[in-house]
Structure 1
Amino acid sequence: MQIAVQLYSLRNAGWSFSETIERVSAAGFSGVEFAGLPDEPPEQVENICSKNEVAAVSAHVPLSTIECEPTVIQEYQQLGVTEFVIPYLEPKAFDPDTFTVTMDRLAAANQQIEDAGGTLSYHNHEHELETIGTYTILERLLSETALSLQLDVGWATAAGCDPIELCNQYRNRLTSIHLKDVRLDETAPRGGTPVGLGEGDVALTDILQAVPVEQVIFEHDDPKDPAEALVDAGDWFRPM
């Protein structure tokens, strides 16, 4: 099992890319998932990662970027990235009058990534687990496209689902999980509030023991102190 950090978690830390990777390595992580291309040239990025024994495991790339800026895919590939993930689509993308268009766009993006030699996954939030008719949006999305799945267990829990059941259901489509903890709160806009690992209501240890996935990616959507959140997450993983 490789344990990585989604760099979105550290976006407000104010660190250079080099310092970020050094801190990620020092916290005990062996990989990063990009949420935007670094400013440094590819050779420098590779050197920084290699020196700190941190691999570039994947990248979150918006659907609109795949469609309108295809060279971004090549730039990530220069960093060694082959796993691409669509991080978010607004709920309105899955409205009945737009659903078919959205599926067509996702299918085209998937073919584009496949043609480039990569794999494309979809990263859920809570709204894709809403039921429309007899199926959830996620069920329809995965049945009508060939995308893989990066399951965010935190938002799945906030949606009232069992992440282990979802992992088993989509075992053949699952490329990685986002290990995120949330404190359940019916009054919160999305059913829960992101917190540090072990501070919320997600069955994190049970998930890791039950789910045979090679890539586990830590994410905290809005840490008050990114440096503390990173170290605490590394400490949480250390006994694993």
Structure 2
Amino acid sequence: MIRTAIQLQTFRSLPETLPETISRVGTTALEGVELPALNGTPPADVADALEETDLDVVAAHVSLEELETEYETVLEAYETIDCSRLVVKRDGDGAFDSVDDVDATAQRLSTLASRLADDGFELLYHNGTAEFASLEGGSDGEFDVESGSELELEPEPEPETAYDAFVTATDEAVGFELDTGLATYAGVDPSVVLARHPGRIPVVHLTDAVAGGEATRRVELGAGELAVENCVETAREAGVEWLVYEHVRTSDPLDSLTHAATKLPMLSERSLSDSHPDPASTD
């Protein structure tokens, strides 16, 4: 069963501490939280809030540069929180412009993931939009699959974008956190991405967008172009463990929390019921 959580960056406009926000989420039907940067919050305070609410911590977003240069300090903080999944993003421009760039980035993360695995941690990579551009020196093909089409868990013979090449080039120790809204904004169907890489994407940022303008880069889940139910079903088929809601441009974080705490459990339960139909309803 896919579990449900919220990225606490959704609440960044609220004048409250990270532990206070965790306590707020603990009153809802959501099962977990994903941490943004701690920004000075004592790890022990976060750990106490998680214990008091009985919420699980899905992962924590950290700076790639900080993780590489202050490795022991970062691990000590997240050991205190009992958070073993660390998520990084693209570090600067040019990481996905060519085959050589992709290979270099993949090697960098594979090396780091191997070191983290030896210390009991898992490394995930969170995409932006640049990863979905056509890769120079690779295939010129573009995604052209209608949302809602039949699920296919076999990967394509050739990578279609820098993202596909990147997943292929990284060691299995590197996992991925797919941001569905940013993929949608880049003109890519997230369901296709999930189906191409089963077992490599344990966490999905269930976000929404409308391609074509900066103002619609982030919209409320269900208000954009994402085929939400199809995406969740594909995620289940592809072995995704967590659906993590996020809306960093919300004008009302509390309303977004209510939306997330209502919508995500329904999607998770629907996905589960679809995979186990009632025997009485079948011939």
User: How far apart in 1 are the matches of 2:39 and 2:217?
Assistant: 29
Question: Does the Cα contact within 8 Å between 1:9 and 1:226 map onto a contact in 2?
Answer: yes
- 1:224 is aligned, of 214, 236, 251, to 251
- Of 225-234 and 40-49, deviating more is 40-49
Matched, 1:87 2:89: yes
Letter aligned with residue 103 of structure 1: A
**SS of match in other structure, 1:20:** helix
Aligned pair in 2 of structure 1 residues 170, 79: CA closer, same or farther (>3 Å)?
same
Residue 21 of structure 1 and its aligned partner are, at CA, apart by 1.0
User: How far apart in 2 are the matches of 1:223 and 1:215?
Assistant: 22
Matched, 1:9 2:36: no
Letter aligned with residue 191 of structure 2: I
User: How far apart in 2 are the matches of 1:196 and 1:172?
Assistant: 27
- 2:79 is aligned, of 72, 77, 80, to 77
Residue 170 of structure 1 and its aligned partner are, at CA, apart by 0.7
Q: Give the TM-score of the pair, scaled to structure 1.
A: 0.89
Matched, 1:155 2:182: yes
Aligned pair in 2 of structure 1 residues 231, 87: CA closer, same or farther (>3 Å)?
farther
The structure with the largest strand share of the pair is 1
Equivalence for 2:57:
56
User: How far apart in 2 are the matches of 1:90 and 1:234?
Assistant: 34
Query: Unpaired segments of 5 or more residues in structure 2?
Result: 140-159, 268-283
- Of 144-153 and 41-50, deviating more is 41-50
Question: Does the Cα contact within 8 Å between 1:35 and 1:60 map onto a contact in 2?
Answer: yes
Question: Does the Cα contact within 8 Å between 1:13 and 1:227 map onto a contact in 2?
Answer: no
Question: Does the Cα contact within 8 Å between 2:106 and 2:169 map onto a contact in 1?
Answer: yes
User: How far apart in 2 are the matches of 1:171 and 1:104?
Assistant: 21
Matched, 1:116 2:119: yes
**SS of match in other structure, 1:27:** coil
User: How far apart in 2 are the matches of 1:20 and 1:200?
Assistant: 26
Question: Does the Cα contact within 8 Å between 1:63 and 1:109 map onto a contact in 2?
Answer: no
CA root-mean-square deviation: 2.1
Q: Deviations over 1:167-223 (max 9, x none)?
A: 1111121111110011x242x149x42111222111112211232222111111311
Matched, 1:165 2:192: yes
Aligned pair in 2 of structure 1 residues 43, 90: CA closer, same or farther (>3 Å)?
closer
Give % identity. 30
Query: Unpaired segments of 5 or more residues in structure 1?
Result: none
- Count the aligned residue pairs: 237
Residue 104 of structure 1 and its aligned partner are, at CA, apart by 3.2
Equivalence for 2:206:
179
Equivalence for 2:26:
25
Letter aligned with residue 36 of structure 2: A
Question: Does the Cα contact within 8 Å between 1:131 and 1:137 map onto a contact in 2?
Answer: yes
Q: Deviations over 1:8-29 (max 9, x none)?
A: 2212212122320121122322
Question: Does the Cα contact within 8 Å between 1:181 and 1:195 map onto a contact in 2?
Answer: yes
Equivalence for 2:163:
138
Question: Does the Cα contact within 8 Å between 1:196 and 1:233 map onto a contact in 2?
Answer: no
Letter aligned with residue 224 of structure 2: G
Aligned pair in 2 of structure 1 residues 103, 185: CA closer, same or farther (>3 Å)?
closer
Question: Does the Cα contact within 8 Å between 1:36 and 1:59 map onto a contact in 2?
Answer: yes
